[in-house]
């Protein structure tokens, strides 16, 4: 399949030759150590760029710059409407650079170019515009005080301070903006640490932020490894808040590292989301929804619907329909316009995903479709459906973070058991239900222990809070709650 074009060749040449440095206090600088690290294209496994490897000293410099900008810089003196205008300008800049930004995401993550453009880049611009509107709508409350002497009491919401934003590799631009937009709207300054696998779109975002006029020190970007740069950011006493999206295991490390100065935390962690299909469901809608929930972004989604519970009356039709879709998906490079499902992020992750599949088969699971890595350059695995799984199997209990679905059936009298099985996980990020019965949908939604319950394919919106129960995290992103996570409440009481 032909992927080379003059435009693509030109972009690749620019990527490989361009120096990628750290953004600290408005300046692009090399890491203090002088070290760089390679960035790989998961479509073919080749190096596409070398990026500065930030360390503890670089993080310290970035935090100090963010602190200075917050305490005494121009940013603190900006009117809320001026902050809103800058955030909107950044959205416009991303929209104007949509083709280049989408190509960066497709090269960096392997996702289909069309998805990068319509989901990631468009989603980032929409999120910035949504939160730009919040900059002028941050309010407190006034209270009637029960005191013999007259008082006036009110609250104000103030920016929390310097925010450390640590983002994952599955949707690097969109996840960076999901944290950056409310932080800026609230008036915070920040240090952004992208995943070492996918740093390129974050660095481009930094260039655009400078072009539209963000003051020095407001947005700082440190590239590097999680165990060094990420850990230093989480531990730094000059950071007031950490927002992290990633695995539950790393979330625990972030939690411990943040304890020194009691940082405010938002943690969006792992998931093992159930999908329940009732016998009255619209089967076409259910098949589309089940397939999308597990195969979108090659299953590399925290809320992926990886456990299917379908009523026995429709089980064969639903699973057969999802299997047929899996077999028809065009697997290939994200740069090929025909591609519907791209590679996983790295060779290490490919080994992890296929290792879970092998463990499941050894434990007695049956491969209905897929189950193998694909012998070609890059990091490709077949979309996979497993049946005959049991609750103790690792494929049923662990977050695989790949295109692997475990499918189970249930009978009429098993609804209580199925809800219990759906909740029988350490995670609680999302759940999906397909039914035509509105009353049943509400009853099941009330019983599921998940941060979001999506009925008949319902999707989230920038105005709707998202986050997890149990070990899927703390706090919420998006909506009012996502904004207020970057604020502190101050009470003011005046004796009159």
| 270-311 pLDDT tens trace | 999 999 999 999 999 999 999 999 999 999 999 999 999 999
| Two structure tokens written together for 171 | 């949707």
What is the distance between the alpha carbons of residues 173 and 259, in angstroms, rounded to a whole number? 28
- What is the per-residue burial (b if ≥16 Cβ within 10 Å, else e) of 320-335? ebbbebbeebebbbbb
Beta strand residue intervals within 363-486, DSSP E: 366-369, 384-387, 404-410, 430-434, 452-455, 473-474
Residue with tokens 């938002």: 266
Q: Which residue from 269, 264, 244 is spatially nearest to 254, judged by alpha carbons?
A: 244
Single out the catalytic residue among 302, 406, 477, 484. 302
Q: Measured between alpha carbons, how far apart are the two ends of the chain, in Å?
A: 77
Which is it for the CA torsion 77, 81, 82, 84, positive or negative? positive
pLDDT at 105 over 60: yes
What is the distance between the alpha carbons of residues 183 and 188, in angstroms, rounded to a whole number? 5
Give the pLDDT confidence score for residue 1 in this predicted structure.
39
Q: In 3-state terms, what secondary structure has residue 274?
A: strand
pLDDT at 204 over 60: yes
pLDDT in tens, 180-195: 999 999 999 999 999 9
What is the distance between the alpha carbons of residues 391 and 382, in angstroms, rounded to a whole number? 23
Per-residue pLDDT, averaged over 442-459, amounts to 95
438-447 helix and 415-423 helix, angle to the nearest 10 degrees: 40
pLDDT band for 2, please (50, 70, 90 cuts): very low
Which residues touch 442 (CB under 8 Å, ≥6 apart)?
Answer: none
What is the distance between the alpha carbons of residues 434 and 276, in angstroms, rounded to a whole number? 6
Q: Which residue from 233, 255, 238, 245 is spatially nearest to 55, judged by alpha carbons?
A: 233
pLDDT band for 3, please (50, 70, 90 cuts): low
What is the distance between the alpha carbons of residues 64 and 61, in angstroms, rounded to a whole number? 5
Averaged pLDDT score across all residues of the chain: 95
In angstroms, what CA-CA distances link 241 with 29, 163, 211?
25, 5, 27
In the chain, the percentage of residues whose pLDDT exceeds 70 is 98
| Two structure tokens written together for 207 | 């260039």
Residue 129 phi/psi, 5-degree rounding, is -65, -40
98-109 helix and 172-186 helix, angle to the nearest 10 degrees: 120
Per-residue pLDDT, averaged over 164-189, amounts to 98
Which residues touch 6 (CB under 8 Å, ≥6 apart)?
Answer: none
Give the DSSP letter of residue 215.
P
| Two structure tokens written together for 395 | 């494929």
Radius of gyration in angstroms for the set of CA atoms belonging to the chain, rounded to a whole number: 23
pLDDT in tens, 368-383: 999 999 999 999 999 9
Element (H, E) at 13: helix 6-17
Q: How many CB atoms lie within 10 A of CB 210?
A: 17
pLDDT in tens, 411-440: 987 888 999 999 999 999 999 999 999 999
Give the pLDDT confidence score for residue 415 in this predicted structure.
82
Q: Which residue from 418, 409, 416, 454 is spatially nearest to 435, judged by alpha carbons?
A: 454
Single out the catalytic residue among 53, 196, 268, 477. 268
Per-residue pLDDT, averaged over 14-26, amounts to 85
The C-alpha angle with vertex 276 and arms to 274 and 282, in degrees rounded to 5, equals: 140
Give the pLDDT confidence score for residue 458 in this predicted structure.
84
Would residue 268 show up in a list of annotated catalytic residues for this protein?
A: yes
CB-CB contact of 40 with 7 (8 Å): no
Which is it for the CA torsion 199, 204, 206, 207, positive or negative? positive
What is the distance between the alpha carbons of residues 222 and 302, in angstroms, rounded to a whole number? 24
| Two structure tokens written together for 439 | 């009353």
Which residues touch 286 (CB under 8 Å, ≥6 apart)?
Answer: 277, 310, 314, 318, 434
What is this structure's pTM?
A: 0.96
Give the pLDDT confidence score for residue 16 in this predicted structure.
65
Which residues touch 56 (CB under 8 Å, ≥6 apart)?
Answer: 228, 229, 232
User: Which range (15-24, 108-117, 206-215) has the least confidence?
Assistant: 15-24
| Two structure tokens written together for 254 | 């972030």
């Amino acid at each position: 399949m032909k992927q080379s074009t003059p435009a693509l060749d030109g972009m690749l040449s620019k990527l490989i030759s361009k120096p990628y440095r750290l953004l600290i206090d408005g300046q692009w600088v090399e890491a203090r150590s002088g070290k760089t690290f390679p960035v790989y294209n998961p479509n073919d496994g080749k190096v596409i760029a070398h990026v500065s490897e930030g360390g503890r000293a670089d993080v310290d410099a970035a935090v100090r710059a963010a602190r200075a900008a917050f305490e005494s810089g121009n940013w603190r003196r900006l009117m809320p409407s001026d902050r809103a205008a800058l955030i909107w300008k950044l959205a416009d800049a991303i929209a104007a650079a949509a083709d280049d930004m989408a190509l960066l995401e497709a090269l960096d993550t392997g996702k289909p170019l069309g998805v990068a453009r319509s989901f990631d880049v468009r989603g980032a611009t929409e999120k910035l515009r949504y939160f730009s509107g919040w900059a002028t709508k941050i309010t407190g409350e006034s209270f009637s005080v029960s005191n013999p002497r007259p008082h006036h009491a009110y609250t104000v919401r103030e920016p929390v301070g310097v925010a450390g934003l640590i983002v994952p590799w599955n949707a690097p631009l969109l996840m960076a903006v999901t944290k950056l937009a409310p932080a800026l709207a609230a008036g915070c300054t920040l240090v952004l640490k992208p995943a070492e696998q996918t740093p390129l779109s974050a660095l481009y975002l930094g260039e655009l932020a400078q072009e539209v006029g963000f003051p020095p020190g407001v947005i700082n970007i440190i590239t590097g490894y999680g165990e060094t740069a990420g850990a230093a950011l989480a531990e730094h006493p000059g950071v007031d808040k950490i927002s992290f999206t990633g695995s539950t295991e790393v979330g625990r490390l972030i939690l411990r590292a943040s304890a020194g100065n009691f940082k405010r935390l938002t943690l969006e962690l792992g998931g093992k989301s159930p999908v329940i299909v009732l016998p009255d469901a619209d089967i076409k809608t259910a098949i589309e929804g089940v397939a999308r929930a597990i195969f979108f972004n090659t299953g590399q989604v925290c809320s992926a619907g990886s456990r299917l519970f379908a009523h026995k009356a429709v089980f064969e039709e639903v699973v057969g329909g999802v299997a047929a879709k899996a077999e028809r998906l065009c697997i290939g490079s994200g740069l090929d316009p025909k591609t519907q499902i791209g590679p996983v992020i790295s060779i290490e992750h490919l080994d992890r995903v296929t290792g879970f599949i092998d463990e499941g088969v050894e434990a007695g699971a049956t491969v209905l479709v897929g189950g193998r890595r694909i012998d070609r350059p890059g990091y490709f695995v077949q979309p996979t459906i497993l049946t005959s799984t049991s609750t103790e199997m690792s494929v049923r209990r662990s977050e695989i973070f790949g295109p692997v679905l475990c499918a189970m059936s249930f009978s009429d009298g098993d609804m209580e058991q199925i809800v219990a099985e759906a909740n029988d996980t350490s995670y609680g990020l999302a759940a999906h239900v397909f039914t035509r019965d509105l009353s049943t949908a509400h009853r099941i939604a009330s019983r599921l222990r998940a941060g979001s319950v999506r009925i008949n394919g319902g999707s989230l919106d920038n105005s709707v809070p998202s986050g997890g129960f149990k070990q899927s995290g703390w706090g919420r992103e998006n909506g009012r709650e996502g904004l207020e996570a970057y604020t502190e409440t101050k009470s003011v009481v005046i004796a009159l």
